[in-house]
Amino acid sequence: MKILVINGPNINLLGIREHSNYGILTLSEINKIIEAEYKKINFEFFQSNFEGEIIGRIQSAQKEFDALIINPGGYAHTSVAIKDALEACKIIKIEVHLSHLAKREDYRQTLLTAGGCDGYISGFKEKSYLAAVYLAKKLYNHK
């Protein structure tokens, strides 16, 4: 199984921003935890602060991958274009958020991009990614 993990804007700042919301680990450390937990899965990790680059990667994903896990960062609340790309992508898609969005600001309660995914996970910091991989694997094996 091959899974693409996409991270959006400001996720490259993990480890130095708002530990109470995002935890203390860097993105690189989270990626290593994912790979260590799921050794039999091939992962590719992609991070961009640019909406168009994220859209391009989503659009090419179904040619190479069995599943896509995305943390769109702030684009989750604003990007119809990323939502449209996710809807057009016909592989398993799970959205991830490190912070517990239901406990955050009102504007974070609208998740546009999650509607283009099979489901979303929020609030478990780095474990959100591990849960998403677990679910992607289960969905893939039950096709």
Task: Decide if 86 contacts 6 (C-beta within 8 A).
Answer: no
Task: Decide if 70 contacts 113 (C-beta within 8 A).
Answer: yes
Q: Which 8-state DSSP code applies to residue 66?
A: S
Annotated catalytic residue 134: no
SS3 104: coil
Q: Please list, in sequence order, all residues whose beta carbon lies within 8 angstroms of the beta carbon of residue 137, skipping any fewer than 6 positions away.
A: 1, 38, 41, 67
Q: Which of 38, 75, 97, 129 is catalytic?
A: 97
Q: Which of 22, 75, 120, 129 is catalytic?
A: 22
Annotated catalytic residue 22: yes
Catalytic residue IDs = 22, 97
